[in-house]
Structure 1
Amino acid sequence: MFDQEKLKKLQTSKKEWEAGKLKGILEKRPERKEKFKSGSGEKVERLYTPLDIGQADYEKDLGFPGEFPYTRGVQPTMYRGKLWTMRQYAGFSTAEESNKRYQYLLEQGTTGLSVAFDLPTQIGYDSDHPLSEGEIGKVGVAIDSLADMEVLFNEIPLDKVSTSMTINAPASILLAMYIAVAEKQGIPSDKLRGTIQNDILKEYIARGTYIFPTKPSMRLITNIFEYCHEQVPKWNTISISGYHIREAGATAVQEVAFTLADGIAYVQAAIDAGLDVDDFAPRLSFFFNAHNDLLEEVGKFRAARRLWAKIMKERFGAKNPKSLMLRFHTQTGGSTLTAQQPDNNIVRVAIQTLAAVLGGTQSLHTNSRDEALALPTEESVRIALRTQQIVAYESGVAETVDPLAGSYYIESITNKIEKEAMEYITKIDNLGGAARAIDQGYIQKEIQDSAYNYQKEIEKGERIVVGVNKFQIKEPAPSGLLKVDPSVGEAQKQKLAKLKTNRDNEAVRRSLLELKQVAQGDGNLMPPILKAVKTYATLGEICGVLREVFGEYEQSIVL
């Protein structure tokens, strides 16, 4: 990118500047005493110049937007053509209450829905299961059957809205419910647009809402790939998630590395199941975190995009350009929000929003200021959405493609993150791939060590968190928080009991038996799951059959 002779001359000039002007200033006014490092703890140099990216080749390493290696974006015009999808993650209490929140968000200008499910739903238990007690409707909406899903999307035209569902172990069941609701609205499945998270490996690594062992879990995922390629072609069949890996304490490099390693495992599993890479890879999507270090995060997104394009082209031989594109959703960093001085979180989220947009995200959720304390209120959600809208329409950063490209620091950190992430991926390959590395506890241990170091820095005062370990104030107890009424659980159980009384229980029994027979063989599980859903078999009943056949995953202990 730069003439080598000019770089040599620049190196000489830089040394002269350091020995002269810089040295004199440092003697008079020394730099601050704290260490200069990125949000991930990486050393940040005083100055970046062409020397830091001197070997870069513009066409090879950056290229043009919409072309390999996609460093500068997956679309030629990016936000000049279409803004990112403003997708607010929401769901709590009952389907009725969550539907009201979705209607409110659509009225306020959100351009995509994102469904949060309660913990029992996430781990495949109905609301009347003993393990669901006290958790019904708390961290998301309770969905026991197709009847709940019908209410959840009542008067929301599914052919006109894109829906993301944060669901993993029972992803096939919730997708089947969504398809069935659309069918009742008269909408064919080939018109549906949206995403299911469907990323079980990161559950084993960082989040914990798994059900089945690795092998049957991977079967369910590849069954979805195959089914959607034929029946729901506009659906993103997986959202390979670095978000929760980062929330667990990973660095930016680890977030990229472990997420892409999981992606490699899914692609390989699908190929091993007999699928052609270009049949399913165009519908893969990713999900990343946006933290407070604006410039490191921008470099992270650019590095991830370039590295994935190379992996798909060179490792898997993908030919379709869409198979090479790392399309991703971003959520601002939940773990960065503080219970102390919660209004400060508005500023944090604004910085993180900028990072995601400058990094080229396709979809974005902005966290609300009160999420360190409770589920967000309508006012907090509106402020979070307005943050996206102000960045989109008032900041100017969406007017040109990849506006920070060419910055010596941005290009340097992009290169560094790509290189170090690839080194991690090579280590994981040598361990036998992501699933084996997870079973051995390698990935979990790396994240735990990073999380420990980060927390230690905060406690020592080496890392400042405004309002937490510096600039504290006396604050009144928080008020006006959203609380889920304890009666929600009992009401949900009553609805479920009524459903079980009024449905055709013989049809349910036959559908579950058919599902069990397919699970015991090697057929695609999506058709019998869809059939069972349409009989109003519950989530817990369907997962119960699969538990009986597949067993349950047991997490390895990592010390």
Structure 2
Amino acid sequence: MGKEQEFSANKQEWENAVKKTVQRYPERQKVFETSSGIPIDLLYAPKHPQEEYQETQGFPGQYPYTRGIQPTMYRSKYWTMRQYAGFGSARETNQRFRYLLEQGQTGLSVAFDLPTQIGYDSDDSMADGEVGKVGVAIDSLHDMETLFDSIPLEKVSTSMTINAPASILLCMYIAVGEKQGVEPARLTGTIQNDILKEYIARGTYIFPPKPSMRLITDIFAYCQEELPRFNTISISGYHIREAGSTAVQEIAFTLANGIAYVDAALASGLDIDQFAPRLAFFFNAHNQFFEEVAKFRAARRIWSKIMKDRFHAKEPKSWKLRFHTQTGGSTLTAQQANNNIVRVALQALSAVLGGTQSLHTNSRDEALSLPTEESARIALRTQQIIANESGAADTIDPLGGSYYVESLTDEIASRAWKYIEKIDGLGGAVQAVEAGYMQREIRQAAYETQMKIESGEEIVIGLNKFVEEEQQLPDLLKVDEELEANQRKAVQQVRIERDATEADRCLNKLEAAAADPGINLMPYILQAVKAYCTIGEICNTLRKEFGEYNGI
């Protein structure tokens, strides 16, 4: 088939896909046009074949997905608007969730406190001073029931930023759904469940790499059968970028981690076209606007090639990189905090122009504290203004075809491939983590960026240029000092009121199952959760068998 025929065939295939998509998801409005009355087409593309267009860009919803994973992208449906939220007690966070849903948020995103993230109960000495500070404290199913009180789980998609104990929090979510009368197969959402980036950049790990990877593949296998609509992992570049990586390193290291998870799943006997469509990714949006747009486009292109050529996945849905984006927390300044509203708006726009599937916008005060309701509302309104007023969502991949953006996309992809090849040469992401390779690369990049900021070579408004001597701080959210004591009492009360014999029986069964690598641990964790075993008790049971990871 010649280039002209191939181009025409692909265009016809895309147009047919558009017709089918619009039948299921009608376009948001009958007419799309500018304020001057100029019609806006669904897609702008070459009229005739151009050199490498099919190979590097293609049509939306077609390999290599550079221009987007859906045939109509946002013309039919906006991205999911999430606000990452969680602080204090489950009751307080439940109130914030309900407030955000009333303001038009379309999905929930849960932030957990540090003890929850590393598997300690609120009354453990390891949790002193940290309960409810950077997220919501969840000790048992009782807290999870409170967290989602009066929130219908069959209607809401929930993302949970949890990694080492992801299996436990997912089981709690399943149990809450069942108590609401929602079958697991109807639940939708995402668990982060990405332990490799914890070793690389974030640090909230519990177990060594090998048993951690076992837990992840157990989740893959369990959800394949029981939660087919749930995303089993959100392979995260966000925290890699927050630790100081470049945009190229962010996608290269994230996709290398993705390769490691696919390898582990295949080694456990799973079929790639069964689990791959539920893999999701999580990226950062920083201030370099055009580089960020190009980064998202390059990531889709690289992942589709990895899945198609390296792993030989046969289903196109296995080739698609679906991702959530959060604006860059590390770019926010405590100085002149209102400037962060502008930074977040530009970052959010880059994610939309880059084709994200869901988006969280940081609040202006997050360099100082957890966000207030007012700040969270402004952050959500930022997304809503981009969606409804900017026109950015009215045509697919608006910057596609830009000489600059296409050149950046190609260059980012080329440099990312070199990193992936280097990691392959080290034996893969797990071995690269154990050798400290990615950690060293990120530290060097972070150091170089900090030196540029301190020298003034890289400008940060309000920090090293246009500085104001007197700073007026916005109203800040303060977590109730009584929270920790109350949470300690609450978890102790759960232990008193539950069936202690049943709780012990479930923990003993879990310990025995953990000793057999051929057993999927998810059913045993679910039983323990339903018996109101606490997150600390379950993690300590697994610690006995798996041990703890202390870094390199």
> Would you call these one fold, judging by a TM-score over 0.5?
yes
Q: Which runs of 4+ in 1 moved over 6 A?
A: none
For residues 166 and 140 of structure 2, the distance between their equivalents in structure 1, rounded to whole angstroms, comes to 13
Q: How far apart are residue 480 of structure 1 and its match?
A: 1.7
1:315 aligns with 2:295: no
Q: Residue in 2 aligned with 1:78? A: 73
Q: 2:228 aligns with which of 233, 236, 243?
A: 233
Q: Which residue of 1 aligns with 2:357?
A: 362
Partner of 1:544 in structure 2?
Answer: 540
In structure 2, C-alpha distance between the alignment counterparts of 1:273 and 1:81, rounded to whole Å? 38
Give the structure 1 partner of residue 245 of structure 2: 250
What amino acid does structure 2 have at the position aligned with 1:210?
A: Y
> Once the 2 structures are TM-superposed, how far is the Cα of residue 80 of structure 1 from its aligned partner?
0.4
Residue 456 in 1 paired to residue 456 in 2? no
Query: Could you give the per-residue CA deviations for residues 121-153 of structure 1, whole angstroms, max 9, x where no partner exists?
Result: 000000000010100000000000000000000
Q: Which consecutive residues of structure 1, in runs of 5 or more, have no partner in the other structure?
A: 3-53
Equivalent positions of 1:99-138 (< 5 A) are 99-138=94-133
Counterpart amino acid of residue 551 in structure 1: G
**After the TM superposition, which residues 166-315 of structure 1 pair with which residues of structure 2 at under 5 Å, given as runs?**
166-315=161-310
SS of 2:235's partner is strand
- Please list, as runs of the form range in 1=range in 2, the aligned pairs for 1:319-358 lying within 5 A after superposition: 319-358=314-353
Q: Distance in 2 between matches of 1:242 and 1:155?
A: 33
The code of the aligned residue for 2:297 comes to R
> Residue 525 in 1 paired to residue 505 in 2?
no
Distance in 2 (CA, whole Å) between partners of 1:350 and 1:56 is 35
In the alignment, the residues of structure 2 paired with residue 415 and residue 554 of structure 1 have an alpha-carbon distance, to the nearest angstrom, of 39
Looking at structure 1, the residues matched to 256 and 285 of structure 2 have their Cα atoms a distance apart, in angstroms, of 19
Distance in structure 1 (CA, Å) of the matches to 2:141 and 2:304? 38
Amino acid at match of 2:143: D
Report the residue type matching 1:440 in the other structure: A
Shift of 1:61: 1.0
Mapped contact 1:341–1:475 kept (Cα < 8 A):
no
The aligned amino acid for 2:533 is A
SS in 2 for 1:396: coil
User: What SS does the aligned partner of 1:115 have?
Assistant: strand
Q: Secondary structure at the match of 1:79?
A: helix
Aligned amino acid, residue 483 of structure 2: V
Deviations 1:316-348 (A, max 9, x none): 000111110000000000000000000000000
Partner residue of 1:379? 374
The answer on whether the counterparts of 1:114 and 1:163 sit within 8 Å (CA) in structure 2 is yes
Q: Distance in 2 between matches of 1:55 and 1:251?
A: 31
Q: Please say if residues 84 and 361 of structure 1, whose CA atoms lie closer than 8 Å, have aligned partners that are also in contact.
A: yes
Paired residues, number: 506
Larger mean Cα displacement after TM superposition, 57-66 or 176-185? 57-66
2-side partners of 1:464 and 1:136: how far apart? 36
Cα distance in 1 for residues equivalent to 2:309 and 2:501? 52
The 1:120/1:56 distance shift into structure 2, 3 A limit, reads: farther
Given that residues 92 and 142 in structure 1 are in contact (C-alpha distance below 8 angstroms), is that contact kept between their aligned partners in structure 2?
yes
| Letter paired with 2:150 | E
Find the aligned partners of 1:95 and 1:440 in 2 and give their Cα distance.
39
**Distance of 1:321 and 1:172 partners within structure 2:** 28
Aligned residue among 544, 555, 558 for 2:551: 555
C-alpha separation in 2, matches of 1:183 and 1:386: 33
Describe how 1:10-21 pairs up with structure 2 within 5 A.
Answer: none
Is the 2:335–2:471 contact (alpha carbons within 8 Å) kept by the matching residues of 1?
no
SS in structure 2 at match of 1:239 = strand
Cα deviation for residue 475 of structure 1 reads 2.5
Amino acid of the structure 1 residue aligned with 2:196: L
Larger radius of gyration: 1
Q: Secondary structure at the match of 1:393?
A: helix
Q: Give TM-score scaled by structure 1 length.
A: 0.90
Secondary structure of residue in 2 paired with 1:210: coil
CA contact 2:336–2:471 (8 Å) conserved in 1: no
Contact 2:236–2:282 (CA under 8 A) maintained in structure 1: yes
CA distance in 2, matches of 1:412, 1:489: 52
Q: Distance in 1 between matches of 2:484 and 2:181?
A: 32
Q: Which runs of 5+ in 2 are unaligned?
A: 4-48
Give the match for residue 37 of structure 1. none
Identity %, equivalent residues: 68
In 1: Cα distance, 2:453 partner to 2:529 partner = 48
1:478 is matched with which residue? 473
Counterpart code for 2:88:
S
Deviation, structure 1 residue 55 = 9.0
**Aligned pairs (5 A) from 1:498-513:** 498-513=493-508
1:273 & 1:90 partners in 2: Cα distance? 35
Tell me the alpha carbon deviations over residues 178-224 of structure 1, each in whole angstroms, 9 at most, x when there is no partner.
00000000000000000000000000000000000000000000000
Once the 2 structures are TM-superposed, how far is the Cα of residue 477 of structure 1 from its aligned partner? 4.8
**Equivalent-residue separation in structure 1 for 2:147 and 2:118 (angstroms):** 19
1:525 partner letter: L
Paired residue for 1:9?
none
AA aligned to 2:540 is G
Name the aligned partner's letter for residue 330 of structure 1: T
